[in-house]
Amino acid sequence: EHLSRKRSSKVEGAHSTMMNADMDAVEAENQVELEEKTRLINQVLELQHTLEDLSARVDAVKEENLKLKSENQVLGQYIENLMSASSVFQTTDTKSKRK
């Protein structure tokens, strides 16, 4: 009986050691998965910030573009007015009408 208890104790000890090793392996695997998830989450957050920055930049460029278009229209109208008021840019239609 003493011998069978010893054997049983050894088997339980070996079984316990194997279970601990399995648990350590699972824990290590979980740690690796957790680190990978954390890395991916950080990467996603970084990409989101980059996208927000790019989106804000696109909006700023669109706004600047509209402003420049408007300024160009004003300048174009101003130049047209100057040209029509100046005799240098008058068409030759007035000379042909005199004939």
At residue 97 the predicted structure's pLDDT band, cuts being 50, 70 and 90, is low
Reply yes or no on whether the pLDDT at 10 is more than 70: no
Tell me if 83 sits within 8 A of 89, measured CB to CB.
yes
Q: Could you give the CA distance from residue 75 to residue 67 in angstroms, rounded to a whole number?
A: 12
Q: Is the pLDDT of residue 5 over 60?
A: no
Tokens linked to 3: 């011998």
Query: Each residue of 13-54: pLDDT tens digit?
Result: 666 777 787 888 889 999 999 999 999 999 999 999 999 999
pLDDT in tens, 46-85: 999 999 999 999 999 999 999 999 999 999 999 999 988 8
Contact 37, 31 (CB under 8 A): no
Q: How would you write 28-66 as a 3-class SS string?
A: HHHHHHHHHHHHHHHHHHHHHHHHHHHHHHHHHHHHHHH
